[in-house]
Amino acid sequence: GIILFRQIREARAHRANRGAGSGPETEADEEVESVDPKMPLWRIGLYVLAGLVGLPLGASWLVSGASEIASAMGVSDAVIGLTLVALGTSLPELATSITAAMKGRSDLALGNVVGSNIFNLLCIIGVAGLFGDIPVPSQMLHVDLWVMAAASIALAPFIFGNRVITRGIGIAFTAAYLAYMVALFIGGSA
């Protein structure tokens, strides 16, 4: 909640400064503020309604399809959740991060990834826990939790030490993730 409150406060301050004519609008500001401010209220309402209907419907299809894929491939639902579902739900973040990195906005790329993980770990699990118990498989406690911790530790020098994530390091991170996925599928047979 504190992180979201801070982000909302900073976004409002940014908009207020731009509206007050505090300086020339940069190309980066134009990219961030790409929403049409003259969009009619009825169209905004229509988009919100479509999202409210489409989100649970799409989530239901995703869960059903993922379970069917798990059964067809002979792997556990947890493995499908850790691989295919996680990859599918993260593709928009990947596209955003790649675009930000190509435009030299590394702070946005890293903020997107770290912020998404914080949101998923704290808010999504918390809200889902309000609606029912979430049993944690022992595989996640003994392996996946430690892989996630190791990935966080591997990222720490780049965040705290102001080091640059080069193409080679990006390849190493991607290769480590692919190795993790292969290990899940090999060891995750039902």
Q: Say whether pLDDT at 5 is over 90.
A: no
Burial 55-92 (b: 16+ CB within 10 A, else e): eeeeeeeeeeebeeebeeeebbbbbbbbbbbeeeeeee
| 65 is a domain residue | no
Which has more confidence, 79 or 173?
173
| 184 is a domain residue | yes
| 124 is a domain residue | yes
This prediction has a pTM of: 0.62
Q: What are phi and psi of 134, to 5 degrees?
A: -120, 95
Q: What whole-number distance in Å separates Cα of residue 120 and Cα of residue 102?
A: 25
| Structural domain boundaries enclosing 153 | 75-190
| 96 is a domain residue | yes
Domain count, the chain: 1
| 121 is a domain residue | yes
Q: DSSP for 65-119, please give it.
A: HHHHHHHHHTB-HHHHIIIIIHHHHHHHHHHHHHHHHHTT-HHHHHHHHHHHHHI
Q: Say whether pLDDT at 89 is over 50.
A: yes
Q: Say whether pLDDT at 175 is over 70.
A: yes
Q: Say whether pLDDT at 113 is over 50.
A: yes
Q: What is the mean pLDDT of residues 8-12?
A: 77
| 189 is a domain residue | yes
| 141 is a domain residue | yes
| 143 is a domain residue | yes
Please tell me the predicted confidence (pLDDT) of residue 33: 46
- Out of 6-10, 15-19, 56-60, which region has the weakest mean confidence (pLDDT)? 15-19
